[in-house]
Chains A and B, each alone.
Chain A
Amino acid sequence: AQSVTQLDSQVPVFEEAPVELRCNYSSSVSVYLFWYVQYPNQGLQLLLKYLSGSTLVESINGFEAEFNKSQTSFHLRKPSVHISDTAEYFCAVIPFGGTSYGKLTFGQGTILTVHP
């Protein structure tokens, strides 16, 4: 079985400040890793994912996440946040292997609030 822990339930920051949202996972097998974003009163949208290859992955709106296998972490970072980044962010994993049927295991979510 897999588990995902997001270490901060809420992260308040000021606009243009850097931010890091932390995610650790536990799994007995290798996993794919994802960050999803949920804007107020909307569904979830994929922000970025790590499937294989370079451990640093980037999104089109300036976020990046680094897969650290030894620390079983997949922290999300942005060097300068905007008001529009205010949302809830979810870290999630899927284990390798066909029998998982692509079932996502989610963390508890981190609410990022960007203040002017």
Chain B
Amino acid sequence: NAGVTQTPKFRVLKTGQSMTLLCAQDMNHEYMYWYRQDPGMGLRLIHYSVGEGTTAKGEVPDGYNVSRLKKQNFLLGLESAAPSQTSVYFCATKPTVVNNEQFFGPGTRLTVL
């Protein structure tokens, strides 16, 4: 099993460009999350999903959109990238409401020039 995978691993964008980050999981987990990690700020939740076809806003959702058309995939989109979105993005999954452990992907390092 691959667990949680993220595509791409690295990306450089120019201001105003768009892109989509893909998170894929093969663990049949219901819940999926997108975080961004910035130095000295820990990880902050961008958006999350509690099941196929559902999404909700987290702590820092502005400038991002998400979709969960299939249970195994959670996409994070940047419609018009800004330098403030330079960050490392992590996807995480969680199997059930009772089991509260989240499993993290390896991350995507995004630089916006």
State whether B101 touches A43 (Cβ < 8 A): no
- How many residues does chain A have at the interface if contact means C-beta atoms less than 8 Å apart? 24
Q: Is the CB of A109 within 8 A of B56?
A: no
**Docked CA distance A108–B102 (Å):** 18
Residue A13, interface by CB 8 Å = no
- Please count the residue pairs between chain A and chain B whose beta carbons lie under 8 angstroms apart in the complex: 58
CB pair A106–B42 under 8 Å, yes or no, is yes
Q: Which residues of A contact B90 (CB under 8 A)?
A: 43-44
For residue B49, which residue of chain A has the nearest CB?
A: A101
Number of B positions contacting A (CB below 8 A) = 25
Q: Is the CB of A44 within 8 A of B100?
A: no
Q: Is the CB of A46 within 8 A of B43?
A: no
Q: Which 3 A-B pairs have the closest CB atoms?
A: A106-B42, A43-B104, A44-B104
> By the criterion CB–CB under 8 Å, are A101 and B40 in contact?
no
